[in-house]
Structure 1
Amino acid sequence: MIKEGDYALFFDERGKKRLIKIRREGRFQSDLGYIEYKDVIGRYYGERFETSKNRFIWVLKPSLYDFIMKIKRRTQIVYPKDIGYIIVKLGVKHNSKILEIGTGSGALTTAFAWILSKEGLIDTFDKRCEFIELAKENVSKVNPEAKVNFHCIDALKADFKNEYYDIAFVDIDSPWNVVDRVYNALKPSGRVGFVLPTYNQVEKLLPYLDNKFIDL
């Protein structure tokens, strides 16, 4: 049942989508007419609603894909096709302890939070506080109960617990600067991933991983 404060995907008869937070007051408005939010509360996802102009809109339960594609962003984000590979490759589970360096707009943080139960946690770091605030808002939409600790600090100045994390993910311009710190923060046999947009960055990073990480 749809409650006030829930998110819903409004899907019209032309295939257009809008991600909406349901409120007691107000209405969903488009060129196909409007639907009062109060008429949606108490109904079920998947139902069809008739607008004020006798057109039809379906109110659907958003998927993780919908949240990420509609995410508020101020940076480049990791997209679903890459997120799926990252999650599988790193072996993210409901109880994983995850270290993330480079929060950005929080797309990957959002995906991690979607998976985690109360037994898992994320420590995510970014030196840009405005990115941290945006990521907090984005993550809260999918799993407000997820244990996500947001840190507005340069990862080079942060204190990481030794052998604490199952997984680390690094998305910063110069990841080689944090390799030693990430290595020490991971549990034995922990996994780490990096996002690097250029071949030159990959070429520079690889020597820093030698003699530390095995399955490259």
Structure 2
Amino acid sequence: MRAGEWVRLVDGKGRRHNLCLEPGKRFFSNRGHVEHDEMIGREEGFTVMASSGGEYLVFRPLLSEFVVSMPRGAAVVYPKDAAQIVAMADIFPGADVVEAGVGSGALTCSLLRAVGPFGRVHSFERREEFAEIARRNVDQFFGAPDGESHPAWTLTLGDLAEALPATGERCDRIILDMLAPWECLDAAADALRPGGIVCAYVATTTQLSRFVETVRVHGGFTEPQAWESLVRDWHVEGLAVRPGHKMIGHTAFLVTARRMAPGQKAPVKKRRPAPGAYGPDYTGPRAEAGETAETGEDAPR
């Protein structure tokens, strides 16, 4: 372990502390202090004793551990959702990925790891304060020297709906983590290569419905797929095997759809909407397309 690296100290009760190793400095807690010099130069996975007898386990933080404890501007994308995005949006080594809504940089770290040294991640963020926090977090995790960022990462301050078309770039995947991802769908469609995937991360059912219906009305994508993931740990001690008392429940909904080739449209969904699916107060994209509130079918012209 080298000076300038971040490490995680965990005590016997599971309390965690992240710190950057600096020669001559001390880490203080209610268990006493630990000299940084005692950790520098050693292989991770050891225990260190504090001056008052407290014992700490020392490892470099995993990405899943780092993102839930990083400084935040916006809420972070939890590891369970980041893993789903990387897998289900098929983020592959060498991919060109566009991210809208960098937040605190949690998902950006997962995307950069997935695309590898020959890929590219271009992040767009509207708010300058969020962009600055994300830059510091990403640089901290990847250990970038001062003034430099990950070589595969570009961070642009601006609205993707306006800034992405101005670049003229093409990409393989687009991840939308924002309040109104449907506003960026046209820009995403123009930038995605045929077969590319758009993935939206939304928190509420109203956002989910609006985005899915907008994708359907656009016509240039396959039928969108929507889901959420729930994670529950288990307590295992001898014959006492039971579900944990805590779980990570709803954090967000994920939606993916694939880009069709220019001029091509996916087969029309055959399943008839459930009665009342588009009620009289429905104002979403299907209503704008001229469908009846009662049946969801095209209104007479």
SS of match in other structure, 1:188: strand
Determine which of 159, 162, 166 is the counterpart of 2:164. Answer: 159
What is the match of residue 35 of structure 2? 36
What is the match of residue 282 of structure 2? none
Residues in 2 aligned to 1:206 and 1:11: alpha-carbon distance in whole angstroms: 43
Structure 1 stretches of 5 or more lacking a match? none
- Contact residue 164 and residue 187 of structure 2 kept, 8 A: no
Name which one, 1 or 2, has greater alpha-carbon Rg. Answer: 2
- Contact residue 97 and residue 174 of structure 2 kept, 8 A: yes
Structure 2 stretches of 5 or more lacking a match? 145-149, 225-301
Code of the residue aligned with 2:176 in structure 1: it is V
Residue 170 of structure 1, CA deviation? 0.6
Residues in 2 aligned to 1:116 and 1:164: alpha-carbon distance in whole angstroms: 16
TM-score normalised to structure 2 length: 0.68
Code of the residue aligned with 1:212 in structure 2: it is G
Pick 1 or 2: higher relative contact order, CA cutoff 8 A, min separation 6: 1
What is the match of residue 48 of structure 1? 47
Q: Deviations over 1:154-192 (max 9, x none)?
A: 223203455621111011222111101101111111111
What is the match of residue 203 of structure 1? 209
SS of match in other structure, 1:195: strand
SS of match in other structure, 2:38: helix
- Contact residue 117 and residue 146 of structure 1 kept, 8 A: no
Residue 114 of structure 1, CA deviation? 3.0
What is the match of residue 187 of structure 1? 193
- Give the aligned length: 215
Residues in 2 aligned to 1:164 and 1:156: alpha-carbon distance in whole angstroms: 14
Residues in 1 aligned to 2:84 and 2:189: alpha-carbon distance in whole angstroms: 22
TM-score normalised to structure 1 length: 0.93
What is the match of residue 148 of structure 1? 153
What is the match of residue 79 of structure 2? 80
- Contact residue 122 and residue 153 of structure 2 kept, 8 A: yes
- Contact residue 163 and residue 187 of structure 1 kept, 8 A: no
What is the match of residue 117 of structure 1? 116
Residues in 1 aligned to 2:71 and 2:151: alpha-carbon distance in whole angstroms: 19
- Contact residue 86 and residue 114 of structure 2 kept, 8 A: no
Code of the residue aligned with 1:151 in structure 2: it is T
Residue 195 of structure 1, CA deviation? 1.4
Residues in 2 aligned to 1:65 and 1:195: alpha-carbon distance in whole angstroms: 18
The percent of aligned pairs where both chains have the same amino acid is 27
Change (3 A) 1:123 1:163: closer
Change (3 A) 1:14 1:190: same
